[in-house]
Structure 1
């Protein structure tokens, strides 16, 4: 069994390296827009420790995560907008619905806004949280090569 461990670790490392090599960083708004308009699956990695709170109600955080952009729109001013929603539970174990809205501007600046609703009432829970980020600084975009 011990002799299999190095082989399994090697396979895991090779798989991780191949996954990283199969996609590339989209570092500018035009690259992101081109990938989306070409129908590529664009992934977003979020690191809120690199972002700044956009209002007094928003605390700093070290939260990180990611998603794939399913639907998006580009508004007349050039803003790329997309959203994510998911059911989860709060710290008290009660069900909530969390909405995250992303707005990416042509200059690379971005804002992430989060709104939470209690379930099943859909009553808003707390205030909206908002963070100011930027492409490659808090928000990193990736697409297959």
Structure 2
């Protein structure tokens, strides 16, 4: 499994950040790898809600169906799946220590299946770069709202 963790300070209040990030369709704005992300079905961003996500990783387009599997006042967990990989995004949002804004703790993981597992050691660096880009973009997006 490949896993990355980033702590991202933002100026927006924690509650607003959780509300925004709970709608995974917003991933097109803050996740540099996401090209398309649309809700499957209707309803709110509650556990069981699903999104069709098209991402580009290492020049290849891949589609996953993400589901919001946990939602708490300060924590969101999304799991995306296709035939090759399971992705898990855990987002925890807490008030900033100085009281101004929030800190987003973003933990993302990829678990490949079958022969694709053999490629994990070679993909780690690219996944780290993607996480670095998300770390730069997320404050830009959250702080403008």
Q: TM-score range by the shorter chain?
A: 0.3 to 0.5
Q: What is the TM-score when the length of structure 1 is the normalising length?
A: 0.39
With normalisation by structure 2, the TM-score equals 0.39
| Larger gyration radius, structure 1 or structure 2 | 1
Of Structure 1 and Structure 2, the greater helix share is in 2
